[in-house]
Every structure is written in structure tokens, then in C-alpha cells.
Chains A and B, each alone.
Chain A
Amino acid sequence: MNTALNLAIWLPLAGAVLIALLPSAERLARWIALVASGLVLGLAVGLALSFDRQAPAAQPQFITHLDWIRQLGASYFVGLDGLSLPLFVLNALLVFLAVLVSWKTQQRTRAYFALLLVVETAVAGVFSSWDLFLFFLFWELELAPMYLLIGIWGGERREYAAMKFILYTVGGSAFMLVGILLLYFNSPVKTFDMVAMGSQPYVGSLAGLIWLLVFVGFAVKVPIFPLHTWLPDAHTEAPTAISVLLAGILLKMGGYALLRVNFGLLPGATRQFATLLAVLAVVNIVYGALVAMRQSDLKRLIANSSISHMGYVILGASAAVAGGAAGAMAMQGAIFQMFSHGIITGLLFVMVGLVYDRAHTRQISALGGLAARMPFVAVGFVMAALASLGLPGMAGFAAEFLVFAGTFPVYGVATILAIGTIVLTAGYMLWLVERVFFGPQRPEWARLPDASRLEALTVAAFLIVIIGVGVYPRILGDILAPTAATLAARLAS
């Protein structure tokens, strides 16, 4: 029983209930949300600091294991390992920052912050569950609040986007559920306990089918081509803070689940499908970049870049089956990329939000020359764009380097294509920056204010993390490396 972890999972929900119970606390709501998410962030960082980096990686730490639905062999089993801890922290961090980003939300404040906190609990639960059933529960728990967050506070086409988001995801989890149940009944250990399932993985004849079924569920979330078209709509229409969360952590749920369930529990099938994964990953990377290049909507461009960047996660993961040094490296890269993409794309969406809040348009062609009036926003945006295109010294580079390095000896051609896409990324990112911020100042944007103090603080927080991790990746590397190596070794054996 680890109090801190349980507290970190459930505290946001308690905050949400508190907000719901205080009927006329419109202004108080955001403070409650801030305090709750702040506490969770503190707890998460504390957990990260007290994480035993020397312990064997196969076992989660900070575990709580209680009986739950005995008829199903389901239990309340939470804990963190090197794979989940960074994402757990990322969740806490991004939600906290999301609260700051949405500080000025006027419309239905209480509901907004309450739902935000529910999402935090759900995602924290996904990342810390070691019981497959509990995992699925948390996974589904995130849907309805997210649907409402997009649907109520979103942009013009929010209804379409929200509906598309939820139908896609629910459709995906439909397959996932069947897969999970099949796995449960076919695996030699009749339990949902993922530690036990992982230590004695199922290798029977249904493994391939189960793998594919769960994969569909996760692939929607990642998203993996061709199940990705919900993403540009959802990310584009969602309000800024929600775009941050969507790109920052919700996509990571897909990648995380892929590693945890497909890779962790079905290593044999994973080996079979590794090449398919690699191909899909490259398609994601290249295709996402190409589509991003043509976008005329600022947010949509960033959204499509997420598709491309999540491809690196999948690429790294696919190469992990090779085992050995390369496999471990690729796996570490995949996990690292999830963290860094989360924080970088989060910042990008924040920056887009800042632009949109001021200019009230996201059409790239309508913008231009903003750097003169908004130097801070411009610098922040450029930094985010640079981080996104994998500039060394920022978080993205460390991750991509690991992915490339690990994948190179396994899938040479795929790696070359992926590295080549960096050029495309630089192309569309810098082109975007050029069109939005550079060039002569336009009269219609002559009065835009620069970032406020609070906004600047938020952006700075993002940048500190991005650069901190980029310059000193050991912060994460120490935690990731043993887990990644264990996972990869298990895959290869």
C-alpha cells in the first residue's frame, strides 16, 4: 500500500467531486483544480525522486495490491516502473500546466475544471495500473470527460470532432476488450495481474489474433495510420489546454499500452508483427509530415506533426524485438520519445493557443509578422518548433537519437527514411514559423499584446523541462534504461 501513489491517482477525482459539490464556486473551482493538480505534481515528482533506480526492472515499485472482483481475477493493483513513471510525471505536469493555461476560462468554469481533474485521475490510473482489468477501466474512464471537454469548450466544428474522437476511441477499445478477454481466458495464468501475465506470457495459437485485437485499440489512440483521422479534428477543435492534454498524454496512453500489453504480455506475437509495426511507423512518420506540410490551419498542422512524431515511438518499439543493445536502445528511445513529444507538442499547442487567443484566427495565411509585436510568443514558438524538429539540446533530440541509434541496425531502410523525415519536419516547422512570425508586420496585428506574466511563466516551465531533459537526459535515462532493457530482452528471448 503506497499512500503517495494512491493519493496521486485519486486526489484529482476528489478535487472534481469537491468542485461538483460546491454549487456556486465558479472562481474557487480553478483554485481547487490548481491545488489538486499541484499536489499531484508534487507527489509525482516525489515518487520520481524516490524511485529506486537500482532495483530490478521487472517489478513495479510503490505497489498497492488489493482484492477486487475476485470472480474475474481482477484486483486493484497499482505501481510504477521505469516505463510508467515518466509518463505518470508527464501527466501530472501537463495537467498542472493545463490548469494554468486555462486559467482565464470563463464558460462553465466548474464543469471544465472538474472534468479536467477526472481526466487526470483516469490517465494516472492507466499509467499506474498493473491489473489489466483496472487498466481497461481507467482507459474507458477518460472518454466521457474528454468528449465533453472537446464538445463544450471546443472550436467551431467541435461537435463533429468530439463525436469522431469518442466513436473512434470506443470502437478501438471494443476490439481491445475482446482481445483482453481472450487473453485472460487463454493465458496460462488465469489472472489480470500483468506482472504474472508478463512473467509467463501466452504463446498459444490465438496470440496473433489477440495481439491484433488489442493493437487496434491502442493504434487508434497513438494514432497509427490509417486509424489516425480523428486526431487532426479533435486536436484542432479542442480548447488549448485540452489539445495540450490530448497530444501530451492521451496519445501516450496508446504508446504506453502498446508497450505494456502487446509487448509486455505477448512478446511472441510482437516478434511476428514487428516488421508490420516498423512499416506502419515509417508510414506514420513520413505521411504525417507530408500531410502537415499542406495544412493551412496552424493547429491542424501541429496535430499532423504529432502523427509523424508518434511514428518514432512505434519505430523504436518495433526495433526493440531485436533485443540486445540495439533493442534496449530503441525501446528506451521509444519511451523517451513519448515523454519528450508530450512536453514539446504540449508547448506547441500552448503557443498556438496564445496566438489564437490574440489574433482569433488559426489560418496561417492570415497571420504574419507577429514577431515584432509578440517577441516572447515568437521566441517560445520558435523554441517549441526547434524542439519539435529534434534540435540537440532539447528533449526531442535525445529521444530521436536513441530511436535512430537503436533502430538503425535492425531496420536500416526504415531508419534512413525516418531520419530523412527530419528534414521535412524542419521544412514545415520553419516554414510555419516564417509565415506566422516573420516578414513585415501587418496592420491588422499591430495591436496584439505579448504574453502575460502568467502565460510567460507557463511557457517558461515547459521550456525548462524541454531543455533540462534535452541537456541532461540522464534525468530520465536512469529510470528508463533498466526497464527498457528488460522489456527488450524479454521480447528477444
Chain B
Amino acid sequence: MLPEPAPLVATLLGATPPMNAELLTALGFYALAGLALAGALGLIIASDVFHDALFLVLTLGSVAGIFVILGADFLAVVQVLIYVGAIMILILFGIMLTPQLGNLPNTGGPGQIAAGVIAAVAVLGTILAVITTATWPRASAAPIDLPAGTTSLLGTSLFNSFALPFEVASVLLLIAMIGALVIAREP
């Protein structure tokens, strides 16, 4: 589970092998992952819902970066556009429309926190126990070679193999729209 220390130290000291693209990518990944996790942690800890939103933006942005590293450039754009551009705006509106009276606690009591942490640790532990030990028979050892842009590949997939889900997604959005209109409107 722990990274083996020797290569890391060696690399950092520039001994063997020379700093290459792979290492840079890795470092970028770790940096972004750290940011993403920090944002997530911040979201949990922050006591102000507005700060929550900002931490979330940090995470979402970092994840977009990670998407790039993982060869999903189009997805990164979508992530930034929809999440940061649409969802976060929506959420900020939501926050502003619901001013709270007084200073209410943003997190539950110690019991709830403990329970939440236990559940999260349990879930994480289970998942990690599985994914780190599993072998993935279909997965290639190395990242696959991807063309410079994945957009056309995705487009083909989306409108060919997954045309039906695409249509369903549109209905989903329609429903969300109608429903939100009805429910959120002043009575």
C-alpha cells in the first residue's frame, strides 16, 4: 500500500533515471489529487456553507486536471463547464436564496461525526481492500494509447452505442426542469 521509498528518494535526488515525462505526470497527479482531497476535506470541515462551495470548486477543478492526466481531455472541459460553470452557480444561488438566521452548526454533533467517520472509513476500507488486491483481467497494465483528442471518439460512442441513454438523459433534464419549476416556484 505504501509507496516504496527507495525509488522516490532516488528520483528526487536525480540519481537514476533522469526526470522524465512519466515522473512529471505522476507528480502532477499527486499534486492535483492532494488538492482534490484537501478540497473534499475542507468541504467537510468548513463551518460556513459558502466556504463549502469554494472548497468544492477546488476539488472539482483539481478533478478536471486529473481527467486531463487520465486522458480525458473532453471530459475535463465538460467538468469545468458543467460543474464549475453551471452546477456551482446553481448552488451559490441556492445558498444565497436560503439565508440562515443566526449561527447554526454546519456539522452534526460528535456522535453524528463519529458515526459518519466510521461509515466512511468502513466503506473506504472495504473498497480499498478490494481494489488494491483485485486483478483486473480486461485492464491493460499501461495506459492505452489515446489519440490527441478524445472528442470524436466520444462523439461516436455517444451518438452510436449510447444513443438511447443520451435520449434518456434529455428526458431526465426535462423532468428536472419541469419539476424544479413547479416545486421551487413561490406557491
Q: When A and B assemble into the complex, do they touch directly, with CB atoms less than 8 Å apart?
A: no
State the B residues within 8 Å of A (CB): none
Residues of A within 8 A of B (CB): none
